[in-house]
Amino acid sequence: MLSGTARDAAGPRAPEAYETRVAGLRAQLAGLPAGTPVRLAKSTSNLFRGRSGPGAGGLDVSGFTHVLEVDPVGRTAEVEGMVTYEQLVDATLPYGLMPLVVPQLKSITLGGAVTGLGIESSSFRNGMPHESVLEMEILTGEGEVVLARPDNEHSELFHGFPNSYGTLGYVLRLRIRLEPVLPYVRLRHLRYTEAGAYFDALAGACDTRSHEGKTVDFVDGTVFGPGELYLTLGTFTEHAPWTSDYTYLDIYYRSIPRRAVDHLSVRDYLWRWDTDWFWCSAALGVQHRPVRRLLGRRLLRSDIYWKVAAFERRHGITRSLRGLLGTPRREPVIQDIEVPVRRAAEFLDFFHREIPISPVWVCPIRQRGTAHWPLYELDPATLYVNFGFWSSVELAPGEPEGSRNRLIERTVTELEGHKSLYSDSYYDEDTFWRLYNGGTYRTLKNRYDPGGRLLDLYEKCVRAR
């Protein structure tokens, strides 16, 4: 800890400051009219589904952005729910520590990653962000603040909270585990031309945590096409002969086919995808050097791009222009799914055949321990492969919008996989609750939000209320 005291984004804080913020938030909730659906009032988000319902009932959680404590001896951090991973990484790296899983985008909050899941290239050894949580203080729909731990009277809420998307309560404070880092990450980009060999190599690196005699600390991949698959293996290192910079003019994903070996500072490695929102910044025209020079580093960020995309979704400018010009309709296909590694080549073959999107992100994940997370159940003995794809596809004449997303959902289920709920979902209600453990969810909902102040998970994630 810094000089034996707590530390937040603005320096030391008084012990009562957090409690004052909690009391104010509870008063906000109590002051909302009965029957008003309760939401968080946030200026940014990393969700990609619309909302058809009214925007009233927003709780202002903008004050819950403090890193309360970093304990370098115990390797833990205590943070408020709206702290972004960028804030937390900046607070922990000076101690040679990082969160066990750092989701790809700087603006993702810890509360959001726990209630809505997250993944990154350390997930093959550390699982998802919620698996590093030691305890959470959660504001329930009843207006109570409960301390949930894996072994106390609120353990069912602790384990049922991941994948609940704020429908069981909101995280106000978390204590999480950290792990040590070295200053640099050495990357190896290995090209494969055949999916079977590619996923065999990925599984081997994850199982042994090594490749060709070298330790592997991070594993992910990028698929540019059926015969162009890259496996990226990262290794912590004390020294680097040189480092690359992908925070301004150069673009990380374009370097993958060009460089067999690369070196990044650990901070730049953690945020290697953020500058260009993976590759989605191309849709906004900012992958041209003159445009990047004009914008500068400050605006080359995923949260800026998200605001532009959210404006487009609200106003439908591109859709209107396509209608005026008579160009074919397009369906957004923005999803993350995972299937067991033994079915990964099948999924990729299906995807290349039916969904003309590239590149595709690949990230292996294995549950870190044997705990049961009922709303998003993974087999602890199984290595899964996450596929991330974020674009749109042209619809044939008469083809209904949603048809490609529905096809993906059916295929993922057939391949024993799962789909994240941060974007559009099309499941019917029976299928949804079968896949996401409706029985357990209803038990938790009845206990912690019996008055239904918070939205129902199906209403929020499928009906987009």
113-127 tens-digit pLDDT: 999 999 999 999 999
Domain that holds residue 143: 16-181
Q: Which amino acid is at 177?
A: R
CATH number of the domain within which 66 lies: 3.30.465.10
Give the residue-averaged pLDDT of 418-446.
97
pLDDT at 97 over 80: yes
pLDDT at 457 over 60: yes
Is 70 a member of any domain? yes
DSSP state of 193: S
Is 300 a member of any domain? no
Burial (0-12, 13-18, 19+ Cβ within 10 Å), 148: buried
pLDDT digits (tens, 9 = 90+) for 181-237: 999 999 999 999 999 999 999 999 999 999 999 999 999 999 999 999 999 999 999
Distance CA 320, CA 179 (A): 49
Contacts 24+ apart (CB under 8 A), 67-71: 67/7, 67/8, 67/9, 67/91, 68/6, 68/7, 68/8, 68/13, 68/18, 68/173, 69/1, 69/6, 69/7, 70/1, 70/2, 70/7, 70/95, 70/97, 70/178, 71/1
Query: What is the number of domains present in the chain?
Result: 1
Distance CA 365, CA 208 (A): 14
Closest C-alpha among 330, 301, 428 to residue 46 = 301
Query: Is residue 124 a contact partner of residue 210, using CB atoms and an 8 Å limit?
Result: no
Is 169 a member of any domain? yes
Instruction: Report CA Rg, the chain.
Output: 22
Q: Return the residue matching tokens 């790809």.
A: 104
Q: What are phi and psi of 408, to 5 degrees?
A: -60, -45
Q: Which amino acid is at 244?
A: S
pLDDT digits (tens, 9 = 90+) for 223-280: 999 999 999 999 999 999 999 999 999 999 999 999 999 999 999 999 999 999 999 9
Tell me the pLDDT band of 5, cut-offs 50, 70 and 90.
very low
Buried-exposed string 236-257: b where 16+ CB fall within 10 A, e elsewhere: bbeebeeebebbeeebbbeebe
Is 293 a member of any domain? no
Is 249 a member of any domain? no
CA distances from 366 to 30, 138, 341, 382 (A): 41, 26, 10, 6
Is 171 a member of any domain? yes
Closest C-alpha among 88, 143, 75 to residue 114 = 88
Please report the pLDDT score of residue 413 as a whole number. Answer: 98
The distance of Cα 376 from the centroid of its chain, to the nearest Å, equals: 14
Beta bridge mates, 340:
384
* Bond before 359 cis per omega within 30 degrees: yes
Please report the pLDDT score of residue 1 as a whole number. Answer: 32
